[in-house]
Amino acid sequence: MSSTESTTTQSFADLGLSDSLLKTLADIGYETPSPIQAECIPVLLQGRDLIGQAQTGTGKTAAFALPLMEQIDVKLTKPQALVLTPTRELAIQVAEALQSYAKNLPGFHVLPIYGGQSYTIQLKQLSRGAHIVVGTPGRVMDHLERKTLNLDNLKTMVLDEADEMLRMGFIDDVEWILERTPAQHQTALFSATMPEQIRRVAQKYLVEPREIKIKSATATVAAIRQVYWQVSGMHKLDALTRILEVEDKFDAAIIFVRTKNSTVELADKLSARGYAAAALNGDLNQQMRERVIEQLKSGALDIVVATDVAARGIDVPRVSHVVNYDIPYDTEAYVHRIGRTGRAGRTGNAILFVAPREVSMLRSIERATRQPIAPLTLPSRADVTNKRVADFKAGVVEVLNAEGLDFFANIVSQIAEEQNVGAEEVAAALAMMAQKGKPLQIPGEDPAPSRPMADSRRPGSFGERDSKPRFEGRSDKPRTESSGDSRPRFEDKPRRASSGAPTGDMVRYRIDVGRDHGVQVKDIVGAIANEAGIESRFIGRIALYDESSTVELPAGMPKEADNALKRTRVRGVPINMRPDEGDARPEGERKFDGERKFKKRV
């Protein structure tokens, strides 16, 4: 294996990408490649195998996705590239990135396949044809076994976050898939770390790979208060306006979105809601760009909605807030964005909107900035009303202290006399008229509070998976006792005190998959972790029977996690999870004689 250090590249045009793809990147807002992109894209375009070692959030998705787009033959509607990811969230994220890069590639189709999604939907989409398939190992294996996924035309295989797949217990599945790929194809392996087992897989399946290692950049932004809002239960625009209204010491803001069209759309909507807002994107000429920035400096504008490229170099001290309306593609972009506030020795505020499936990027940003990002509670209707009333009162008091009110006082007296009402009622009518453009009371009701996002640092949460091996203490080898033992095979003891997991109550569930289905403990743990977002240390004792199994999970699971598990399949079989009634062995289940072996894959 050969290795290389990162170098600086000025633009994507230097990397050998096509003009149509360069145009797409410019439209998206990409300006310069990150180190991992600059190093990997030329190598992959040459058709060489590659090992890329870089942390999540360094832009590695584009590092392999862009070369994939260059190699696709749109006329051939068969899978030409396969990307394996450890989780369904990452599979969806990669598929969305590929679709965004295909803006100028008519007829391109990418298909994400993962557990928990209907087989019927996936089968229909596979039958229609897909140029790139992005999937989790278990579901890809199922489709290969069913012969519903054909890899005969495969040109490139990508293993994304290989160390995470190892940690989740999927590395054997990955090797099983690699053994069923065509002999001649390109393989790219990306991993944040390089454990011995990953190194062994690379040596076995990659041919003279180029090895690229990128040191993760870190940044300290101690002067900036960083918070995130979990996108849930309310439209982002409504949430944005609520947050801006109640934020302390709000002066001016730059709001970041991903596309040029979004800058115009959001700026128009904010203007319609009474904000002095304007768009800033690559379509503006230099004169118009300078005018917008000057208006922001002078106070003629309070909000600029911008793309990453357009906002580079903005230095406006009065910018008190940066809002990441769309989460950035990598951590470097985030650091550049929030650097627009907290300037000239002032404190700044950075607000990040995060969808549940984007939580991995949130954690990467925390590592890059060396700061935790706290959740932001969405202001209630009462909070906004109180703030608007306070501002309204302040405005009235300011006018009361001004001179020249005699003329208007006389008008009020005339109205009161003519209508036979008191001056207070006239004042109330005037207040109602004055607030029509921005009602003091928000109609409707507050959305139900969303559950906190997965965070492994809070004991008792269903958090992001920890960095310890997921199957520590478990054995995937079958029991070999010679006694005619009818007991289930217990694979693990609940690991609570030693791993920092909660000591709360556990509930035992019954699922309709067992040894007769060829199921191993890692299949069950992987399905639960992947589909419900419950990390391994919160999964208790697992018992395998012939036709079913039991698993202990924490009491009080979130409803969405419970619903997701009820729809989950393991080895293609619906698990039909429900609370166990306490029977040691369901009726009709065969006695375990200690000599049964797991079914081998063929």
Q: Cβ distance 511 to 524 under 8 Å?
A: yes
**β 319-324/348-354 pair status:** parallel
CA angle 329–330–332, rounded 5-degree value: 135
Q: Cβ distance 482 to 377 under 8 Å?
A: no
Buried b or exposed e, range 432-468, using 16+ CB within 10 angstroms: eeeeeeeebebeeeeeeeeeebbebeeeebbbbbbee
Sheet of 578-579, strands arranged across: 489-490, 542-544, 549-554, 506-511, 578-579
- Asked whether the predicted pLDDT for residue 486 surpasses 60, the reply is no
Question: Nearest 5°: phi and psi at 215?
Answer: -75, 135
Q: Cβ distance 305 to 263 under 8 Å?
A: yes
281 or 438, greater pLDDT: 281
- Asked whether the predicted pLDDT for residue 484 surpasses 90, the reply is no
Q: Cβ distance 296 to 319 under 8 Å?
A: yes
- Residues 242-266: what's their mean pLDDT? 88
- Helix/strand/coil (H/E/C) assignment for every residue in 263-288: HHHHHHHHHHCCCCEEEECCCCCHHH
Neighbouring residues of 94: CB distance < 8 A, sequence distance ≥ 6: 61, 65, 83, 85, 112, 134, 160
**Using CA atoms, how far apart are residues 560 and 523, in angstroms rounded to an integer?**
21
- At residue 18, the 3 state secondary structure works out as coil
Ramachandran bin of 147, using left for φ above 0, alpha for ψ from -120 to 50, beta for the remaining angles:
left
**Using CA atoms, how far apart are residues 439 and 461, in angstroms rounded to an integer?**
39
**Using CA atoms, how far apart are residues 156 and 131, in angstroms rounded to an integer?**
11
Which contiguous run of DSSP H or E holds residue 304?
Answer: strand 303-306
What's at 165, amino acid-wise? Answer: M
- Asked whether the predicted pLDDT for residue 504 surpasses 50, the reply is yes
Write out the DSSP string of 465-498.
--SS-TTTT---SPP---S---S-EE------TT
pLDDT tens digits for range 96-121? 889 989 988 889 999 999 887 888 88
- Asked whether the predicted pLDDT for residue 465 surpasses 50, the reply is no
pLDDT score of 57 = 63
pLDDT score of 51 = 96
pLDDT score of 344 = 60
CA angle 297–302–306, rounded 5-degree value: 85
200 or 485, greater pLDDT: 200
Copy the structure tokens of residue 169: 């217990």
**Using CA atoms, how far apart are residues 10 and 480, in angstroms rounded to an integer?**
62
Which contiguous run of DSSP H or E holds residue 553?
Answer: strand 549-554
Matching residue, tokens 């890692």? 522
pLDDT tens digits for range 309-336? 777 767 788 999 999 999 987 787 888 8
**Using CA atoms, how far apart are residues 471 and 525, in angstroms rounded to an integer?**
9
Residue 44: band (very low, low, confident or very high) from pLDDT cuts 50, 70, 90: very high
pLDDT tens digits for range 173-202? 999 999 999 989 999 999 988 999 999 999
Residue 209: band (very low, low, confident or very high) from pLDDT cuts 50, 70, 90: very high
Matching residue, tokens 């005037």? 430
Please say whether the dihedral angle defined by the alpha carbons of residues 191, 206, 100 and 339, taken in this order, is positive or negative.
positive
Q: Cβ distance 227 to 352 under 8 Å?
A: yes
- Asked whether the predicted pLDDT for residue 94 surpasses 70, the reply is yes
The mean predicted confidence, pLDDT, of the chain is 79
Matching residue, tokens 């019927």? 120
Question: Nearest 5°: phi and psi at 553?
Answer: -130, 160
Buried b or exposed e, range 321-346, using 16+ CB within 10 angstroms: bbbbbbbbbbbbbbbbbbbbbbbeee
pLDDT score of 514 = 86
**Using CA atoms, how far apart are residues 33 and 50, in angstroms rounded to an integer?**
18
pLDDT score of 449 = 53
Q: What whole-number percentage of the chain has pLDDT above 90?
A: 31
Write out the DSSP string of 391-422.
HHHHHHHHHHTSS--HHHHHHHHHHHHHHT--
- Residues 254-260: what's their mean pLDDT? 91
pLDDT tens digits for range 423-460? 888 888 888 887 766 677 666 565 555 555 544 333 33
* Helical ranges in 206-246 per DSSP H: 236-246
- Residues 248-273: what's their mean pLDDT? 90
Copy the structure tokens of residue 434: 């004055």
43 or 335, greater pLDDT: 43
- Asked whether the predicted pLDDT for residue 85 surpasses 90, the reply is yes
SS3 of the chain: helix, strand, coil, percent, to 5:
40, 15, 45
- Domains delineated in the chain: 2-213 (3.40.50.300), 224-380 (3.40.50.300), 382-434 (no CATH), 462-602 (3.30.70.330)
**Lowest-pLDDT range of 147-151, 339-343, 500-504:** 500-504
- Residues 406-435: what's their mean pLDDT? 85
- Asked whether the predicted pLDDT for residue 266 surpasses 90, the reply is yes
Residue 345: band (very low, low, confident or very high) from pLDDT cuts 50, 70, 90: low
Q: What whole-number percentage of the chain has pLDDT above 70?
A: 80
